[in-house]
Amino acid sequence: MSTATRTSPTDGGTVAPATVERVAVVGAGTMGSGIAVVAARAGLPTTIYDVDADRAAAGLATARRFLTKSGELGKLPAALVESAVENLTATADLADLAGADVAVEAVFEDLAVKHELLGRLDDVVAPTALIHTNTSTLSVTAIASGSRHPERVVGTHYCNPAPMMDLVEVAVGPRTSEDALRRTREFLALAGKTTVLTKDRPGFIVNRFLIPWENNCIRALESGAGTVQSIDAAVTGALGHPMGPFRLLDIVGLDIHHQVASRLYEQLRDPRFAPPPLVERMVAAGDLGRKTGRGFYDYGDTALFGS
């Protein structure tokens, strides 16, 4: 059980301090599974929800597989792997999330879908529970308007892959309470994350810089300026990045890059954000990166979060 304390963000004052005892992750895709790993690894019982039972089970299997592989690679001690795996459950019944102190929304980047989901969460979780939205392309303010308690909605953008990246961008809307922001940062610190506060703007900080840069690297490849290997080597060797752009894109997933880039281009109308044609072709071919075994590189396995 964690010792992070919380107070009510609802109108009407505070409640007695309480521990964060349970986390819910809504959405069993790449990001949802990764965020569930983060919470379970921090010692928190964590339930992965998806409206489709098979997807929920698949997300659970992915999260447990990542933890097991982390143990095999010596990145986590065996006892921590065992306890984290035991912390994870999955469900297709939203009512099972009733006891969550923090509910993390990680569904498809569609405002109508998120509005409907937040309205349903309002009917399930306690008024004191935090609702986090893992978005980087939609407005936190707009998403929060789908809740009857917008003061407890906070944007928490986990950098992908969530279990491997330390940073989480935190964004608030005009109705988000200071208490909800404080409790959010306490929870993320408990989960081992570093937080940066950003304005509620398209792309926040990271993707506002990262997407145009990755697109420029892809366009350099398309133009024949270098190979996948030489561009990655130039970036790591000369710029000091720990990983080249194509290794990173393969871990994130070309489909995710395409979705984020397209959403930001739609909002900003800046051609730097438009996905290059090579990305379109790779997504169409199913060459999405590590999770499909082939992207800019070929892989001998399809470990979702890389290694």
Residues with active-site annotation: 136, 157, 169, 207
Handedness of CA 259, 119, 58, 88 (dihedral sign): positive
Pairing of β 46-49 and β 23-26: parallel
Beta bridge partners of 90: 48
Pairing of β 5-6 and β 18-19: antiparallel
- Give the angle 165-72-229 at the CA atoms, nearest 5°: 55
Report the alpha-carbon distance of residue 44 to residue 55 in Å, rounded: 22
Percent helix, strand, coil in the chain (nearest 5)? 50, 15, 40
Q: At what angle do helices 277-285 and 254-268 cross, to 10 degrees?
A: 140
- Which helix (H) or strand (E) segment is 79 a member of? helix 78-87
Residue (of 306, 23, 27, 57) closest to 188 by Cα position: 23
Range list of H helices, 110-244: 111-122, 140-144, 178-190, 206-223, 228-238
